[in-house]
Amino acid sequence: MAWRGLHISRRTRLSLADNQIVAKQDETEVRIPIEDVAWIVLDSPQVTLSTALLAACMDAGVAVITTDATHTPSGLTLPFHRHHRQAEIAEMQINLSAPLKKRLWQTLVRMKIDNQASTLIACGRDAQALRAMIHLVGSGDPDNTEARAARAYWPRLFTDFVRDDATDKRNALLNYGYAIVRSAVARALVAAGFIPAFGLNHASVSNAFNLADDMVEPFRPFVDRQVWTLTAQGTVSKGESSVEERRTLASLLTGTTSFGCEIVSLLTATEQAAESLVRAMQTSSAAVLQLPRVTV
């Protein structure tokens, strides 16, 4: 079972040998069983990899994430049709009723706000306003409580913060972390038999990962909490992100979270959430959908 990830930040040659990932840096060679790896982040323009390795990654369900010149994740490679009931689950997904989609989105938004509130408490902030909003989320969130919660959340978590300020390093770190977790969610959805382009609430015709963008919402506060820690407890931060900061964010997937009655890795939580979404659709019950919870 996959449980680890690779973050490659300098010149490296990646290849395949004996069903192992071979990473060569200068005169050093490291080998890692491919079945242990869930994701690979190629965070350097000086990384090369063989097509044999890429094909093996797809067979093993490894998500391969590429970054651009600013070290922002820019691409995701995932396998096609890995589930033994792919057609059945895809048909169920496509034929999902509008009322069930709305109830599932309600569950996702409520858990996102709950996790935002728990993040505030963990960071020593007041979460009373957010806690009060959780039960205001209706089916399909017609009143856009999610946006109202965001307006209450960000000023409490970070000081002097504007979410779309490209000069604020906190935004770059948030975007990096979100992209990594989104990739893990997309990987889990594909493994569970879903077509990520067909979402519950997100419905952009140009987005190949609408469902991943729905399911990632409760996972975002895990990234927020880590960025708060990385940037001197949420204060203003300028400059470029460092390799150490990006590696810390990528390693979030190996951190633990509460999921139902268990403590599991965040990576495992993405897989279990995807599997519970299948059950929720099969039973036509949003109450079956299980999601990770930020612990205080």
Residue 70 and residue 104 in one domain: no
Question: How is 189-235 classified by DSSP, letter by letter?
Answer: HHHTT--TTS-SS---TT-TTHHHHHHTGGGHHHHHHHHHHHTTTT-
Residue 237 and residue 280 in one domain: yes
Q: Which pLDDT belongs to residue 84?
A: 63
Coil, strand or helix at 38: strand
- Number of structural domains, the chain? 2
Chosen domain end from 41, 58, 77? 77
Report how far apart, in Å, the C-alpha atoms of 119 and of each of 59, 134, 151, 220, 236 are.
37, 14, 15, 10, 18
Residue 275 and residue 174 in one domain: yes
The answer to whether position 296 is within a domain reads no
Show the tokens assigned to 129. Answer: 């306003």
Show the tokens assigned to 51. Answer: 């097509």
Show the tokens assigned to 44. Answer: 């350097």
- Residue 46 · residue 24 · CB < 8 Å: no
The answer to whether position 295 is within a domain reads no
Residue 57 and residue 103 in one domain: no
Chosen domain end from 77, 110, 126? 77
Maximum C-alpha span of the chain: 59
Chosen domain end from 77, 97, 128? 77
Give 251: exposed, middle or buried? Use CB within 10 Å, 0-12, 13-18, 19+: middle
Q: Domain span at residue 166?
A: 86-288
Residue 190: count other Cβ atoms within 10 Å of its Cβ. Answer: 24
The DSSP element (H or E) to which 42 belongs, if any, is strand 37-42
Residue 91 and residue 33 in one domain: no
Q: Which pLDDT belongs to residue 233?
A: 81
Residue 29 and residue 167 in one domain: no
Q: Which pLDDT belongs to residue 82?
A: 61
Q: Which pLDDT belongs to residue 2?
A: 82
Q: What is the distance between the alpha carbons of residues 249 and 176, in angstroms, rounded to a whole number?
A: 7
| CA 160 to the chain's CA centroid | 26
Q: What is the pTM of this model?
A: 0.92
Residue 283 and residue 204 in one domain: yes
Residue 34 and residue 117 in one domain: no
Average pLDDT of adjacent 10-residue blocks, the chain of 296 residues: 89 96 94 95 95 94 92 86 74 94 98 98 95 97 97 94 90 95 95 92 92 98 96 80 92 94 95 96 96 93
Residue 223 and residue 91 in one domain: yes
The answer to whether position 294 is within a domain reads no
